[in-house]
Amino acid sequence: MKLKKAILCLLAGLALSGVFTGCGSKDSENTLTVLNYGKYLDPEAIEMFEEETGIKIDYEEYVTPENMYTKYRAGAIDYDLICTSDYMIEKLIQEGEVLELNYKNIPLSENIDPAHFAFSQSFDPDNKYTLPYFFGTVGILYNKDMVDESKVNSWNILWDKEYSGQIIMADSVRDSFMVALKILGYSLNTTDEAKLKEAQDLLLKQKPLVYSYLVDEAQDEMISDNAAMAVVYSGEAGYALEFNDKLAFSVPEEGSNMWIDSWFIPKSAKHKENAEKFLDFLCREDISMMNFDYVYYATPNVKTKAALDLELQENTTIFPPAEILNNCEVLKPLDDEVTMKINLLWKEVKAAD
């Protein structure tokens, strides 16, 4: 399969070589190709790194971990460094696509809270492959003026007919099924077909009440009062709270998903040392602080957290307290068969009337 794809790409390359030249990466160049979530790194930090080291960064963004996987697997670009979420990293580790980090080249990784390396062990058992970047939970961002606050401690509020047309649901398979599975009292990593079907029934029942299915735009809609509540990542909620005093965030009692976004070096890397240099740079206190200010998600960097205002350190929306984290599960990758099934179930939800 890989070979055939390579032949196809080669054919494409040959056909185009007369039209364009120099679209392939040149190994000799002192560059670094980074792939990251959207809005997930202060652009100024990239400029600083380029100035300090003379390494030129090619920076690219994606929306969901599935998008990232497609981009990486397409193989058109040799990425040197990728940041993505727990279950997708585990999948790539299982597929043998991840290189081990050389921590000798990342001395500043000591700034990272050892507790977070412990959390990461759920997908990277020996902490060999990944460096934690940001973490958080999934919960309900709601508008205090529109929502009865006594009800936001349960995911069930997202099924409340009173809020018909004012609910924003996550436009991502795993996050949406997480909510439904948690209401039913199941693990968010369940692979049992009957349980997934039950969750789908719940999501189908919810669809008429849903205003829209969104990922990155959910916070903007909430900031401009277009909906009463939205399923969002904790960091997004923290960001939205800054812009609209009427908003608040809650992680329901049924439990939720704890996610850890980490950096890893994929097998396609051509500039591993540059990638490690960049990782070390990201752990530096000032840079980590810049990125925290820009992204506003919980940082595992102890030095950065300690330097924050006490009020911010105690902000439970951004830094989920231990009792909430203990009630959360980390996503696990699903095998191909279950992935296909859950994708189909999700597609049926999206296509329903």
Partner 1 sequence: MYNLKRQLLAGPYLLWMAGFILLPVIMILYYAFTTTSGHFTLLNISSIFASIHLKSLFLSLKLALICTGVCLLLSYPLAMILNKMKEKSQGFIVFIFILPMWMNFMLRILAWKLLLSNNGVINTLLEALGLPALDILNTPSAVVFCMVYDFLPFMILPIYNAMARIEDDILEAASDLGAGAVTVFFKIIVPLTMPGVISGITMVFVPALTSFAISDLLGGGKVLLIGNVIEQAFMQEYNWNLGSGLSLVLMIFVIASMALMSAKGEEGGAGVW
Answer left, alpha or beta for residue 96, where phi above 0 means left and psi between -120 and 50 means alpha: left
From candidates 225, 273, 293, 335, binder to partner 1 by CB under 8 A: 225
CA–CA gap between residue 341 and residue 338 (Å, rounded):
5
A 10 A CB-CB count for 312 gives 14
Q: How far is the CB of 297 from partner 1 (least distance, A)?
A: 23
The reply on whether position 19 binds partner 1 by CB under 8 A is: yes
**Cα separations (Å) of 186 from 177, 192, 196, 263?**
11, 10, 9, 30
Q: What are phi and psi of 154, to 5 degrees?
A: -135, 145
From candidates 210, 222, 251, 275, binder to partner 1 by CB under 8 A: 210
The reply on whether position 347 binds partner 1 by CB under 8 A is: yes
The reply on whether position 173 binds partner 1 by CB under 8 A is: yes
Q: What are phi and psi of 196, to 5 degrees?
A: -65, -40
The reply on whether position 207 binds partner 1 by CB under 8 A is: yes
From candidates 40, 117, 213, 294, binder to partner 1 by CB under 8 A: 213
CA–CA gap between residue 282 and residue 289 (Å, rounded):
9
Cβ distance 81 to 269 under 8 Å? yes
Cβ distance 134 to 261 under 8 Å? yes
Stretch that binds partner 1, among 100-108, 213-221, 292-300, 307-315 (CB under 8 A): 213-221
A 10 A CB-CB count for 318 gives 23
For every residue of 105-147, DSSP letters joined together read G-GGGGGB-HHHHHHHTTTSTTS-S-EEEEEEEEEEEEETTTS
The reply on whether position 337 binds partner 1 by CB under 8 A is: no
Within 280-309, the residues that bind partner 1 by CB under 8 A are none
Q: Which is nearer to partner 1, 165 or 321 (CB)?
A: 165
From candidates 31, 122, 212, 268, binder to partner 1 by CB under 8 A: 212
CA quadruple 98, 102, 107, 111: dihedral sign: positive
Stretch that binds partner 1, among 13-21, 26-34, 80-88, 131-139 (CB under 8 A): 13-21
The reply on whether position 22 binds partner 1 by CB under 8 A is: no
Q: Which is nearer to partner 1, 33 or 206 (CB)?
A: 206
Dihedral over alpha carbons 105, 135, 195, 93 (to 10 degrees): -10
The reply on whether position 211 binds partner 1 by CB under 8 A is: yes
Within 106-165, the residues that bind partner 1 by CB under 8 A are 165
Within 26-85, the residues that bind partner 1 by CB under 8 A are 64, 66-67, 69-70, 73
From candidates 30, 94, 156, 224, binder to partner 1 by CB under 8 A: 224
Which string of x and - marks every residue 229-268 that binds partner 1 (by CB under 8 A)? ----------------------------------------
Binding-site ranges for partner 1 (CB under 8 A): 1, 4, 8, 11-12, 15-16, 18-19, 64, 66-67, 69-70, 73, 165, 171, 173, 207, 210-214, 221, 224-227, 339-340, 343-344, 347-348, 350-351
